[in-house]
Structure 1
Amino acid sequence: MIFWFSIAQVAVAVAAGLFCVIAGLAGRRPSDFTVGSLVLVELLLIAQIVVAIIAPLAGNPPSGSLLEFWVYLVSAALLPPASVLWALLERSRWSTVIMGIAALSVAVMVWRMQVIWTVQIA
């Protein structure tokens, strides 16, 4: 993993999560802005999948469990589409909050992936 890219992903996911949670608690239903913020989080996760495939081939293998890393990455990549689908099916303020919680969960998972990739001893 690339450290600065992981930091950028965490920052975007936290910003999107806080935006959605605050919008939901303020009574706003899902909108193009809230859904768009999760689309941005998902695009960064797709880029992370590409980086995770190329990095070991370029001489940057993970120091932790590769299986654990990929389980985190696939799970994190499934959260934004699932929460957006929920928000489109149930258009209430609480579905906006759920999108925010999903984005915040992605931030935690990306940081854990960074730890698995760099800190742990296999």
Structure 2
Amino acid sequence: MILWFTIVQVVVAVAAGLFCIIAGLAGRRPSDWTVGSLALVELLLVAQVVIAIVSPFAGNPPTGSLLEFWVYLVSAVLLPFAAVAWALLERSRWSTVIMGVAALSIAVMVWRMHVIWTLQPA
């Protein structure tokens, strides 16, 4: 993984998470802004999938468990879809909060993926 891209992903995911949680606790239902923030997180995760596929061929192989890394990555990619689907099915303020919790969870998962890729011996 690339450190600066990991930091960008974590910052964007935390910002999206806090934005959605604050909007939800303020009584806002899911909107283009809250769903769009998770779409941005998803876009960065798709870019991470491409980076994870290309990096070993470019001389940046993982040091930790490749299976564990990919389980985290696939789970993180599916999480925004599930949160947005929930938000669109149940259009309440709590579904906006759920999207925020999903984004914060993704931030933690991305950092863990970075640790698996760079610091954790296999």
Normalising to structure 2: TM-score of the pair? Answer: 0.99
Which runs of 5 or more residues in structure 1 are unaligned? none
One-letter amino acid matched to 1:40? L
State the AA in 1 paired with 2:78. Answer: L
Instruction: Note the aligned Cα RMSD (angstroms).
Output: 0.3
The whole-number CA distance in structure 1 between the counterparts of 2:83 and 2:94 is: 11
Unaligned runs of 5+ in 2: none
Letter of the 1:120 partner, please give it: Q
Which SS does the other structure have where 1:62 is aligned?
Answer: coil
Deviation string, structure 1 residues 35-86 (Cα, Å, up to 9, x no partner): 0000000000000000000000111000000000000000000000110000
SS at match of 1:98: helix
- Percent identity among equivalent residues? 81
* Runs of 4+ that moved beyond 2 A: none
Q: Which residue matches 1:110?
A: 110
Match of 1:8 in 2: 8
Between the two proteins, the alignment pairs up a number of residues equal to 122
Report whether the alignment pairs 1:120 with 2:120. yes
Once the two structures are superposed, the pairs formed by residues 1-122 of structure 1 within 5 Å of their partners are 1-122=1-122
